């Protein structure tokens, strides 16, 4: 991790001991580790605990007051800020030389906002990586130009490519799976318990999950679960990267990523047949993400199957949201809860999240192989729901 963070901050980011480094992050996000790594460079760190938008001027006042040179935040913060505030009009921002953005793709229009409304000469570094590697696959480089809507470059030592479904490298600009074809310094060894640290069955199950999660084709190629396009090389950058969203079932509202299982655990605990009344029993559920705000964010959709003869009431919907909020966080609360007649499962009993996410967001049923499903007849219902849910999003003022 030390090698990886020093490479990113010192070589790619050109951070120096006299830099004042700020990143708006919780301590549970990997960007906290990214920020704290600034101490290894000798930077002064700025920590802030509170809402960044209660007073939109506050963080920019802080930038002037403390001489912040590196300002890190999320794409969602920049999106919200662009609707309410123009920092350049009210702040000097003379010290600022880099702005980092992550958590979700940074829309091309937000590049315009940063350069027109915050600082015309700052390096805008959109960066992407993952909590699972606690570092970056692609990101900033002070030696390269910034192109609108594009991450500057793939990071040094990271053999990142965009793969076709057949496992070959895409042509420049073509969308595919983000993969890393060679080992990298901070690649995890596996899920806990590692071999030698637990019971045999637990170790074997953990490693089977690890292989399935990141090496699904059985090779040594790391599949990260992001949908990306690598652009044609310009100005010696070897090809930048355009982020197109997640290709797996990870949920990402407001730039905060979490697994759907965190929602399922609450449903199983509070709304199973053994813990809830008949009118509040949830037989099965499925959580997927739907892009909103022109792709700059996503909302969580929760589909629920109830006992025969029961209808999703306002009372049950409110209780579901309250339990998820109390047992998880406000970010976990679904924006929409929709009753369905069935939830699709594979032949070996796994919830079908990714294909349903694609169908909800406009993909044809033909994109799903029905032979892999236990109940493919339910896909038509999700096609119709997808039309209505997309219409909802389109009606919301942008």
* pLDDT tens digits, one per residue of 32-55: 999 999 999 999 999 999 888 889
- Within a domain: residue 382? yes
Q: Give the full edge-to-edge strand order of the sheet including 336-339.
A: 282-292, 297-306, 336-339
- Within a domain: residue 366? yes
How large a percentage of the chain has pLDDT more than 90? 66
Q: Which residue has the higher pLDDT, 358 or 294?
A: 358
pLDDT in tens, 176-215: 889 999 999 999 999 999 888 877 888 998 999 899 889 9
| Res. 337: pLDDT tops 80 | yes
Select from 151, 177, 196 the last residue of a domain: 151
- Within a domain: residue 303? yes
Select from 100, 128, 151 the last residue of a domain: 151
Question: Count of domains in the chain?
Answer: 2
- Within a domain: residue 388? yes
**Rounded distance between C-alpha atoms, residue 391 and residue 21, angstroms:** 42
| Predicted local confidence at residue 315, as pLDDT | 96
Contacts of 245 (CB under 8 A, 6+ apart): 105, 226, 227, 291, 295, 298
Instruction: Let me know: does 251 contact 329? Beta carbons within 8 Å.
Output: no
Map tokens 């009344």 to a residue: 277
List the structure tokens of 197.
């640290």
Confidence of residue 398 (pLDDT cuts 50, 70, 90): very low
**Rounded distance between C-alpha atoms, residue 22 and residue 43, angstroms:** 10
Verify that 14 and 143 share a domain, yes or no: yes
Confidence of residue 396 (pLDDT cuts 50, 70, 90): low
- Within a domain: residue 160? no
* Burial of 176 per CB tally in 10 Å (0-12, 13-18, 19+): buried
Contacts of 198 (CB under 8 A, 6+ apart): 192, 206
Q: What is the CATH number of the domain that holds 284?
A: 3.30.300.30
- Within a domain: residue 208? no
- Write the DSSP assignment of 7-37 as a string of letters: IIIIIIS---TT-EEEE---TTSHHHHHHHT
Instruction: Let me know: does 15 contact 36? Beta carbons within 8 Å.
Output: no
Confidence of residue 394 (pLDDT cuts 50, 70, 90): confident
Asked which of 121-130, 244-253, 335-344 is least confident by mean pLDDT, the reply is 244-253
Instruction: Output helix, strand, coil percentages for the chain, rounded to the nearest 5.
Output: 35, 20, 40
Select from 118, 133, 151 the last residue of a domain: 151
| Predicted local confidence at residue 135, as pLDDT | 96
Q: E-strand spans in 43-89?
A: 44-46, 70-74
> What range does the domain containing 98 cover?
2-151
- Within a domain: residue 200? no
Confidence of residue 75 (pLDDT cuts 50, 70, 90): confident
| Predicted local confidence at residue 348, as pLDDT | 57
- Within a domain: residue 36? yes
Contacts of 73 (CB under 8 A, 6+ apart): 23, 24, 52, 99, 100, 101
Q: Which residue has the higher pLDDT, 297 or 154?
A: 154
């Amino acid at each position: 991790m030390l090698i990886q963070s020093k490479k990113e901050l010192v070589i790619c980011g050109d951070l120096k001991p006299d830099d004042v480094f700020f990143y708006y992050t919780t301590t549970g996000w990997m960007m906290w580790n990214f920020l704290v790594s600034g101490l290894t460079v000798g930077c002064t760190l700025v920590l802030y605990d509170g809402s960044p938008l209660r007073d939109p001027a506050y963080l920019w006042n802080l930038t002037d007051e403390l001489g912040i040179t590196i300002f890190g935040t999320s794409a969602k913060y920049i999106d919200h800020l662009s609707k309410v505030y123009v920092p350049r009009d009210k702040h000097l921002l003379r010290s600022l030389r880099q702005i980092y953005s992550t958590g979700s793709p940074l829309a091309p229009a937000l590049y315009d906002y940063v350069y027109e409304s915050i600082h015309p000469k700052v390096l805008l570094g959109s960066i992407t990586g993952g909590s699972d590697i606690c570092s970056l696959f692609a990101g900033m480089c002070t030696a390269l130009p910034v192109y609108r809507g594009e991450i500057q470059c793939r990071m040094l030592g990271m053999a990142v490519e965009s793969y076709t479904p057949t496992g070959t490298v895409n042509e420049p600009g073509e969308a595919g799976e983000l993969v890393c074809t060679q080992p990298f310094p901070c690649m995890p060894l596996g899920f806990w318990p590692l071999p030698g640290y637990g019971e045999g069955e637990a170790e074997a199950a953990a490693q089977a999950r690890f292989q399935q999660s990141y090496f699904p084709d059985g090779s040594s190629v790391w599949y990260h679960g992001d949908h990306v396009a690598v652009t044609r090389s310009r100005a010696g950058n070897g090809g930048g990267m355009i982020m197109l969203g997640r290709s797996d079932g990870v949920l990402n509202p407001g730039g905060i990523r979490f697994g759907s299982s965190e929602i399922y655990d609450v449903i199983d605990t509070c709304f199973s047949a053994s813990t809830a009344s008949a009118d509040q029993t949830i037989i099965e559920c499925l959580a997927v993400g739907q892009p909103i705000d022109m792709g700059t964010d996503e909302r969580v959709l929760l589909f629920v199957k109830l006992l025969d003869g029961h209808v999703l009431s306002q009372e049950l919907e409110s209780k579901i949201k309250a339990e998820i909020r109390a047992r998880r966080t406000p970010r976990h609360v679904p924006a929409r809860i929709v009753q369905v007649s069935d939830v699709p499962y594979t032949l070996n009993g796994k919830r079908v999240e990714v294909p349903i996410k694609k169908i909800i967001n406009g993909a044809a049923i033909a994109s799903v192989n029905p032979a892999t499903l236990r109940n493919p007849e339910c896909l038509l219902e999700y096609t119709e729901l997808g039309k209505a849910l997309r219409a909802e999003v389109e009606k919301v003022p942008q």
